[in-house]
Structure formats: C-alpha cells, structure tokens
Homo-oligomer: A and B are copies of this chain.
Amino acid sequence: MPHPMYEKHQAVLQQAVAAIETRAYWSPYAESPRAYGETAMEDGRKAFEAYHDAQFYLDQPGVIARGGAEVSPYGLPLNISYPRCSADALIAAGKAAMPNWVKAGADTRAGVCLEILACLNARSFEMAHAVMHTTGQALMMAFQAAGPHAQDRGLEAVACAWREMKHVPDKALWEKPQGKNPPLKMEKKFTIVPRGVALVIACSTFPTWNGYPGIFASLVTGNAVIVKAHPTVILPLAISVAVARQVLKEAGFDPNLVSLLIDDAAMPVAKEVAMRPEVRLIDYTGGADFGNWLEQNCRHAMVYTEKAGVNCIVVDSIDDYQAMLKNLAFTLSLYSGQMCTTPQTIFVSRAGINTAEGLVSAEQFGRDLANAVSTLLNDPARAVEVLGAIQSPATLARLGAAHDLGEVLRASRSIPHPQWPKAQVRTPLILKVEVVDQHAYMEERFGPISLVVETATTRESLATAERVIREQGALTLSLYASNPLIVEHAEEMALRVGVALSINLTGGVFVNQSAGFSDFHGTGANPAANACLTDSAFVASRFFVVQSRRHVA
C-alpha cells in the first residue's frame, strides 16, 4: 500500500505525466501572486526577515561548525548562519536512510515528493524574498522563477522518473508453454534500486529552478540527496532542504535522505565530495570549467551538467520590426542577462533587415536596439523590476572590461534603486563587432553584455552561429525570418547542433523563458549541457532494476 501522500497527490501526478506527453500548457502551481492570498507577500517577507541575524535550524548530523556569509545583491547583509556538516556524516546518514525509502516503492516516493513540492509552493513568497536577496532577481521574478516555475520543474522530474519506474511491474507471472507438458511457471519480482548517494551542486542565479530537477529526480528514484549550495546563495536551498526533511519526517522516513552541504570560497568542498565513490549521481549547474572537470573525472558517477554557452540570435527579416525590438529589449534586460538562456550574440547581415516598414540597415538596427533597451528602462522604478541586481562581483568586473570589445552601441549604466540604495543595478551593454572579431563573441560573457555581429549575408549569420554553438554550446537560438526557406535552413541547423530554436518571437514569449512540462531545457547535444531538463535520459539512469524469480505451482 502506498503512503496516503500518494493518494493525496495522485491526480496531480497523473496530470503531470499527461502534460509531459502532450507538452501543452499546464501547471498546478499558480504563477499569479493573487492566488496565494492577500497577505501572502507580506507573510513571506516576515518569514524571510526572521532568518536575518539568526541561526538557520537544520537537525543534520556531523555538524563541525556554522557557516554562511551571504550578502544581498541589494546591499542587505543577511547574517544567517547554517550548520556546516562533514560530508562523511551526510553520506553515511544518506546511505543509512535509503533502504526504507527503497522498500517504500515508487508510488510512495512520488507522493512524498509531491507533498514536498506542495509545501514549497505554500512558501513561495518566503522563497521569493530569499531568492531576491541572494541571486539579485527582482521580487516578482524571484517569486515566479524560484517559486511556481521551479516547482513545475521539480514536478516534471518526478513525473518523468515515476513514469519510467512504473514501466517496470512489481511482479510478473511468466508462463511458458511446453507443448503437451505443463507450462513452466515462474513468479518474478522487480525492485527499483537507487544508484547511490546523489550530489546536487547548485548555482548562484537559479538555485531552485536549476536545482529541483536533479534533487527530485534522484530522490524519487530512491537515492539520498546532498544539496551543495553556492556559498553566496544558501538560503533558498536551506529552506528547500528544511521543507523536504520536515515532510520526510512526517511521512515516516529518515530526513537524512535530503541534506544541505555548505562551504565557502576559501575552502570549497565540491570536488572532494564529488570524487567520493559513494556519490553515484552528480547534478551540476554553473561554469564550464568545473562542469567539464566533473564530466572528465567523476567516472564513478552519472554526471548531469548545465554549463556555459553562447546563445545566439539571427536576424534576417521580420514583419513587425517594432515588436521584435520590444521583445529583444526585454530579453536582453531581464535579470541583467544573468540567465543561462539569455542571448549574447546577435547576427545581422549588412544587406539589412526586411521589414513591413522597409529595409532597415544593420547599422540602424544596432541603434534601434540600443534605443529600445533605453526606452524600456527609462523609468528607474520600472527598470529595477526588470533588471534586478548583479549577483556577483565577477559579473560586474566582466561588464566593466567588456566595453573595449567593440563599438559601444549602448553603454551600461548604474541605476539607483529607489528602495535599496546599495543595490548593484546595471543596464545592458550593447556592442557592435565584425564577424572577424571572433575573440569578442566566441566565448560566453555572462551578464548584461550583448554583441551585434555584422555579417555579409544571413547564410553567413547562420553558418557562424552554427560554429559558435558547435564549439561553445548554447541553450537557445532565436531566429527572425519571414522567408520560410530561411526558417527551414535554421531548423536543420538547429537539429545539427542540437539547440532549441525560437522563431519570430514578437509577443509575450521571450527566448530566455523555458516553460515546465512543455519546453525541454537544454538538449545534451552541444557543449552547453550534457543533459536536458527533463527528458527520459535525465531520469532513467538514476535507478537500477533488480529481479528475483522462482517457480510457482
């Protein structure tokens, strides 16, 4: 008998499985703040503020010390301390917790995971403030991306993994005819067995959105999960881990199935933990160097990485030129380009852009794009809600240095935040370079940095984008083209380099948005990521099937 939490959430789980098979719009977690009640935002703020200048409570084993030195990109020192636990203790506790979790079976595990997600959903505004003041996202974005959208991604992983596990029956009666003799009859039992201890190494910009798929995919398949937070973005994952542990306890399981591991920049622990032979699954989001190191060195584990890339836009032609500019301005400004899906390199041919308003030269396009961004960000109060704040000093430094890479179409500027005077807010930098200036656009420049690259023809734009993506990787490719032949050409290119393509986005969908249950985030087919959130390959290798057979009368 599965746990009552399974029955409670069974309908949602089945809807989720249906959603990933149709990939139509669906989400059980409301993205409208109003759905959470009138006081939700304020309650969330209070819950967040209670963490300030306090010890975050987590009853984990092996506490060595307390750590954590998060400072909000909005200038607020959080002064929260977390237990710093030994990896040895967390691994041992995770291993000890697994056998009962395995025996509980796929239905119970899925039910408990959905209960965790439901509890996280109820705390979406607390999470919103926690994510805002660690990642620098604006509050409403933090609410949606780290709340319902991250929960969608977690549920999607549960649904995908549950579907795979349910493909294996618990029992089978095998009855082989033997001509005139009685048939051979065997009863077979099949058990889903986890791979081992799972390590999730989270990033500093989307700790929950990028972290939940790995956490929930590993947990629902029976593995114990150690969540290694980025030293500057701990609170969102500490809350997530605390919620998971609480629900596990309530359901009668060992809370050490999910634990938080922290470190600091001076004494990083991720490499050492990743190399532990007990760690058999690693999910990583972050820079390419460490991601490649994990892929190369962690032969004992399945490694799922989302690393860096150079996302591209190819502009050939567009009917509604102004709508395209508006769409691009928002795309480049949203969270100051600190999304793994934000385009960096925009290819446009010197032949110009065919529009309903006539031909627009490449030069004019660069000016128009710069102006569109400036118009969008004209009002500082509105601008900060789009831009958020810069998460990392490294991004600020990169932005400063980038002004020399080409002709500045639009300089990046500081904007004062009406509420947070110390917030690090920057507007996008837009540069223009030639196609020969490969050093400028052939590497990832994370942050609000875009390069308009002038090419001879759209064919050259597509060919260069293809090479960029093949060599550097990309999560997104965006095309503006009215000519169906060019669209077809781009679609074939996208298949060759394995990148998600968006065509002629001029409305309320932006290329940097990836919708749970519908869009596959990453493909695994180019260097930006060796895995996809969330396809069968992302979940199927997290468990084994072990069988037992015997004759029956």
Please report A residues at the B interface, Cβ cutoff 8 Å. 20-25, 102, 163-164, 167-169, 172-178, 184, 186, 188-191, 193, 195, 295-296, 299, 491, 494-495, 498-509, 515, 518-520, 523-525, 532, 535-537, 539-541, 543-551
Contacts and interface: CB of A to CB of B under 8 A. Distances in A.
A525 B193 contact: yes
18 contacts: A20-B167, A23-B169, A25-B176, A174-B518, A176-B515, A184-B507, A186-B509, A188-B518, A189-B491, A191-B495, A193-B523, A494-B546, A500-B546, A500-B549, A504-B550, A519-B549, A535-B545, A536-B540
A203 B501 CA distance: 42
A501 B549 contact: yes
B501 A547 contact: yes
A188 B473 CA distance: 22
B184 A544 contact: no
A524 B536 CA distance: 17
A499 B546 contact: yes
Contact of A550 (B24, B502, B549, B551): B502
A551 B21 contact: no
A19 B178 CA distance: 19
Contact of A24 (B172, B544, B547): B172
Nearest to A299: B296
Q: Which of A164, A495, A537 has the most CB of B within 10 A?
A: A537
Contact of A491 (B24, B491, B548): B548
A342 to B, nearest CB: 17
Contacts of A173: 24
A1 to B, nearest CB: 19
B548 A503 contact: yes
Contacts of A541: 537, 540-541
B536 A167 contact: yes
A505 B175 contact: no
Contacts of A299: 295-296
Contacts of A519: 188, 547, 549
Contacts of A178: 508
A505 B188 CA distance: 13
Given A102-B495, A163-B167, A546-B494, A23 B551 contact: no
A545 B532 contact: yes
Given A23-B169, A188-B23, A524 B544 contact: yes
A332 to B, nearest CB: 19
3 tightest Cβ-Cβ pairs between the two chains A and B:
A23-B172, A503-B550, A536-B540
Contacts of A549: 500-503, 509, 519
Given A24-B174, A524-B544, 17 more contacts: A21-B167, A22-B169, A24-B172, A25-B177, A163-B167, A164-B536, A168-B535, A178-B508, A296-B299, A494-B548, A500-B548, A502-B550, A525-B546, A535-B540, A537-B540, A537-B541, A540-B540
Q: Which of A164, A189, A495, A504 has the most CB of B within 10 A?
A: A495
Contacts of A536: 164, 167, 536, 540
A550 B480 CA distance: 10
A520 B545 contact: yes
A498 B543 CA distance: 11
Contacts of A548: 491, 494, 500-503
Contacts of A163: 167
Contacts of A505: 550-551
A99 to B, nearest CB: 8
Nearest to A179: B32
A474 to B, nearest CB: 12
A313 to B, nearest CB: 14
Nearest to A186: B509
Q: Which of A25, A190, A491 has the most CB of B within 10 A?
A: A25
A53 to B, nearest CB: 40
A94 to B, nearest CB: 15
Contacts of A190: 23, 520
Given A536-B536, A537-B540, A172 B518 contact: yes
A543 to B, nearest CB: 8
B551 A504 contact: yes
Contacts of A547: 500-501, 519-520
Contact of A523 (B102, B508, B546): B546
A551 B525 CA distance: 25
A532 B167 CA distance: 15
Nearest to A194: B525
Contacts of A174: 23-25, 515, 518
